[in-house]
């Protein structure tokens, strides 16, 4: 029986790259997003053409009722869930210096990027423990997609950086709590990835990348991140719970 993965924000950008990588690994998929399913024919058909059974859930991870409905739909469709990938995230609607940033923006970003995934993981972890107790061979894991903004300060989007730093600690917390059940939790930390979220700063980063901002002088791709998540979902690093996989082309390597 095929294993099942839930990828939040799985219909575009990094999330779609992850979904495609897991489809190639033979997973059935539940993906969620904010858009109506009628607007997602291309990505969903692509995933299905790769052999995956795909459930799309229109769900806002910042809302508890939406998270509950999404998990109920996954239970009804598949009856199982082995892998949770917390990928959904937003940037501030307007980049503002932290001297000028608003509480409204802070609350919105943290609800989506940190609070929502934290409590989605809580609900999924309870289900995974239930599955493990019913079947000792159950092999599940949690993968949190964060950002180099976990440790690299951007003073014009402080709320985003803080949300991702929180995700890093949440990964360690879930790793520690789920260890007794042998359910690992990992963090995948992307760098500068070419997606619709970074399209507005493409010219800026084209120059920076060309000037050596990263050791590998190119944009990262959703496929790069997808390959990292797929290795974790396959179980390639079974004795590394709580660890960080950095996918940044060497950007955060200190150099003289």
pLDDT at residue 200, rounded to an integer: 83
Helix (H), strand (E), coil (C) string for 3-42? CEEEEECCCCHHHHHHHHHHHHCCCEEEEEECCCHHHCHH
Contact yes or no for 71/48 (Cβ under 8 A): no
Q: How far apart are CA 21 and CA 87, in angstroms?
A: 14
The question of whether 160 is a catalytic residue gets the answer: yes
DSSP 115: I
Residue 229: CATH number of its domain: 3.40.50.720
Total number of residues shown for the chain: 256
Range of the domain at 48: 4-246
Asked if the structure places residue 252 within a domain, the reply is no
Asked if the structure places residue 255 within a domain, the reply is no
Q: Give CA angle at 197 (210, 48), nearest 5°.
A: 110
Asked if the structure places residue 251 within a domain, the reply is no
Helix (H, G, I), strand (E, B) or coil at 56: strand
Burial class, 200, CB count within 10 angstroms (exposed 0-12 / middle 13-18 / buried 19+): exposed
Contact yes or no for 34/90 (Cβ under 8 A): no
pLDDT at residue 150, rounded to an integer: 98
DSSP 200: G
Asked if the structure places residue 256 within a domain, the reply is no
Q: How far apart are CA 225 and CA 188, in angstroms?
A: 8
Helix (H, G, I), strand (E, B) or coil at 102: coil
pTM above 0.95, yes or no: yes
107-125 pLDDT, tens per residue? Answer: 999 999 999 999 999 999 9
**How many domains does the chain contain in total?**
1
211-252 pLDDT, tens per residue? Answer: 999 999 999 999 999 999 999 999 999 999 999 999 999 999
Asked if the structure places residue 254 within a domain, the reply is no
Helix (H, G, I), strand (E, B) or coil at 52: coil
Q: How far apart are CA 51 and CA 228, in angstroms?
A: 20
Asked if the structure places residue 253 within a domain, the reply is no
pLDDT at residue 199, rounded to an integer: 81
Low-confidence ranges of the chain (pLDDT < 70): none
pLDDT at residue 209, rounded to an integer: 96
Q: How far apart are CA 102 and CA 63, in angstroms?
A: 21
Catalytic pick among 118, 160, 186, 205: 160
């Amino acid at each position: 029986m095929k294993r099942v993965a839930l990828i939040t924000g799985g219909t575009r950008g990094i999330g779609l790259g992850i979904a495609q990588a897991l489809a190639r690994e033979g997973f059935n998929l539940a993906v969620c997003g904010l858009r109506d399913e009628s607007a997602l024919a291309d990505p969903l058909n692509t995933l299905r053409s790769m052999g995956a059974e795909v459930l799309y859930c229109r769900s806002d991870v910042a809302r508890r009722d939406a998270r509950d409905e999404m998990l109920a739909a996954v239970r009804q469709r598949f009856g199982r869930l082995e892998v949770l990938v917390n990928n959904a995230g937003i940037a501030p609607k307007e980049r503002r210096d932290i001297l000028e940033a608003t509480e409204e923006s802070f609350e919105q970003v943290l609800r989506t990027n940190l609070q929502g995934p934290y409590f989605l993981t809580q609900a999924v972890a309870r289900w995974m423990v239930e599955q493990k107790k019913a079947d000792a061979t159950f092999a599940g894991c949690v993968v949190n997609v964060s950002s180099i903004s976990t440790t690299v300060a951007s003073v014009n989007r402080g709320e985003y950086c803080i949300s991702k730093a929180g995700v890093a600690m949440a990964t360690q917390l879930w790793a520690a709590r789920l260890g007794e059940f042998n359910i690992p939790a990992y963090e995948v930390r992307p760098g500068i990835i070419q997606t619709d979220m970074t399209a507005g700063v493409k010219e800026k980063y084209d120059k920076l990348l060309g000037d050596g901002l990263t050791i590998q002088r190119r944009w990262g791709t959703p496929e790069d991140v997808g390959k990292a998540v797929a290795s974790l979902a396959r179980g390639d690093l079974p004795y590394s719970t709580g660890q960080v996989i950095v996918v940044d082309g060497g950007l955060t390597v200190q150099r003289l």
